[in-house]
Copies of this chain bind each other. A is one copy, B any other.
Amino acid sequence: MKFEITILGCGSAVPTLQRNAAAQVLNVLERYFLIDCGEGTQQQLRRFKVPYNKINHIFISHLHGDHFFGLIGLLSSLSLQDRKAELHVYSDKRLQEIIEFQLKVMNTRLNFPLIFHHLEREPALIYEDKALTVRTFPLKHRYDAPVTGFLFTEKERERTIRRDMTDAFQVPVAFMHRLKKGEDFVTPDGEVIANCRLTMAPPAVRSYAYMTDTLFRECFAEHVKGVDLLYHESTYGNEFEDLAKETFHSTAGQAARMALLAEAKHLLLGHFSSRYPDPTPLLKQAREIFPNTDLCYDGAVFELPVAKRG
C-alpha cells in the first residue's frame, strides 16, 4: 500500500553539489514512476537505492536540460544491463527526436522497446492502470519550452469485507464481489442488510501533484484541487518576485498560495536557485501562508500513509 516520493534532485538550471538536477521517483505499490530526469539521475537512483529497472514510465515536464539531460544515460545503462521490458516516456514530442538522433548517430539499438507518448497542451488522462491514473495540465514557462504538470491519483479501491459480519448473516461467497462494490445484501427472508454493516470503506485515495518551472497563475489550482501532496517549484524567495516573473519561475510565497488555493494538504518546495545554499528562508516564507510546507533535499522521502476516509 506504499505511496511514496523520493527526491533524486531538487536543484535548478545549474546543479550544485548539494542539489542535483530535477528528478523524482514515485513508488505506488512497488511500481516506480520517474518524474523528470536531469543529468546524473541514474547515479542518484543508485545512491538512493531505487530499483530502477522497475521503472516502466518516465514523465518529463519540459525540454530544459536540467529536466532531461540524464535520460540518454539512463536509457543506455538500462540497455547495457539487458533490460527487456517496455519503457514508456511521456514528454514533448521533440524529446523523441533528441533521443533517437543520438541513438542513430551512435549506431545504438536499445535492448528494450522505448515508447514515446507526446504530451499535448490540453489537460489529459495520459496513463491508467488498476491502481493509478496520471493526468496532465499545462503550466506556463518560456514560450519555447511548453511545460506540463502531472497529477498522480490512486484509484478508488473496493470496500473491505467484514468477515465476522458476512459469516453472521451467512452471505454466500458468490455475492462477495458485489458487496465489495457497495451493494446491500438481501437475506433469503427478504431482510435488507445495509452494505455498511458488512463492509468497511476503503482507505482514502492518495494523490501527488508535480508543478515545476512555471509562473504562478491562480487558475492552475483547479487542476490539483484537494491534492494530498503538492510539489511546487520555488526557484526564488519572495524578495526576487520580479526575477521569478522575468525567468518564468515562482517564489516560495507563490508556491504556498498555490497550495492554499488548491486546498492541498501538504506542500513540498524544490527547484531552488543555486543562490540558496540553504533554502530555509524560503520555507519560512511559504509557511507564513501555508504552514504544512516542507523543503525537498536530495534523498528526501515523503510517504503518504494509508488514511481512513475523512
- On A, residues with C-beta under 8 Å from B are 13-17, 20-21, 39-40, 42-43, 46-47, 63-66, 69-70, 72-73, 76-77, 80-81, 94, 97-98, 101-102, 105-107, 144-145
Q: Whose C-beta in chain B lies nearest to the C-beta of A74?
A: B39
Q: Can you tell how many copies of this chain the complex includes?
A: 2
Q: Is the CB of B70 within 8 A of A43?
A: no
Cβ contact of A73, chosen from B16, B39, B80, cutoff 8 A: B39
In the assembled complex, the Cα of A20 lies from the Cα of B106 at a distance in Å of 21
Q: Whose C-beta in chain B lies nearest to the C-beta of A77?
A: B14
In the assembled complex, the Cα of A59 lies from the Cα of B118 at a distance in Å of 36
Minimum distance in angstroms from A39 CB to a CB of chain B: 4
Q: Is the CB of A80 within 8 A of B17?
A: no
- Max chain B CB contacts within 10 Å: which of A39, A43, A66? A39
Q: Whose C-beta in chain B lies nearest to the C-beta of A81?
A: B14
- Max chain B CB contacts within 10 Å: which of A17, A47, A94, A105? A105
Contacts of A97 in B (CB 8 A): 101, 105
Q: Is the CB of A65 within 8 A of B69?
A: no
Q: Is the CB of B144 within 8 A of A13?
A: no
Q: Whose C-beta in chain B lies nearest to the C-beta of A47?
A: B17
Contacts of A47 in B (CB 8 A): 17
Q: Whose C-beta in chain B lies nearest to the C-beta of A13?
A: B80
Minimum distance in angstroms from A112 CB to a CB of chain B: 15
Minimum distance in angstroms from A71 CB to a CB of chain B: 10
